[in-house]
Amino acid sequence: MKEFNRGDRIGAQMHRELALLLRDAAKDPRLSEVTIQEVRVTRDLSHAKIYFTILDKDEAQYFVKVLGHAAGFLRRRLGQIMKLRTVPELKFVYDSSIEEGKRLSDLIEKAVSSDIREEDG
């Protein structure tokens, strides 16, 4: 069984805590719409990339900006909650992998249905 390194453990805990902070402690109520997908922490624990999704992909840039402004507050709260000596700098990145997966799935379905029509005709 693979053991998790310290960065993975901190990333997993940051993932849980950020989800709760965005839901409960953020001043902007729209931040509760954000879903944290993954947190990747660098080996030296100096930076963390937080991948998130939202329902309306057209607002992705707005949320990147809002989360960027809230990063200081979130970092400070993470430090208090997690009791880390050094809290990584937070960088929020919109995760488009779900949309890309749906697009590829639609393409596969289209190709399969096209093949079925050709076989029938």
Residue at 104 is within a domain = no
The per-residue pLDDT for range 63-88, each reduced to its tens digit, is: 999 999 889 989 999 998 988 888 89
Which CATH number belongs to the domain containing residue 34 in this structure?
3.30.300.20
Among 52, 15, 12, which residue's Cα sits nearest to residue 35? Answer: 52
| Res 100: pLDDT | 80
pLDDT confidence of residue 50: 95
Domain residue limits at 47: 6-96
First and final C-alpha spacing in the chain: 52
Q: Write down the pTM of the prediction.
A: 0.78
Q: How many domains does the chain have?
A: 1
The whole-angstrom separation of Cα 50 and Cα 67 is: 10
Question: Which tens digits make up the pLDDT trace of 30-47?
Answer: 788 889 999 999 988 899
d(C-alpha 43, C-alpha 27), whole Å? 31
Rounded Cα distance between 80 and 109, Å, is: 48
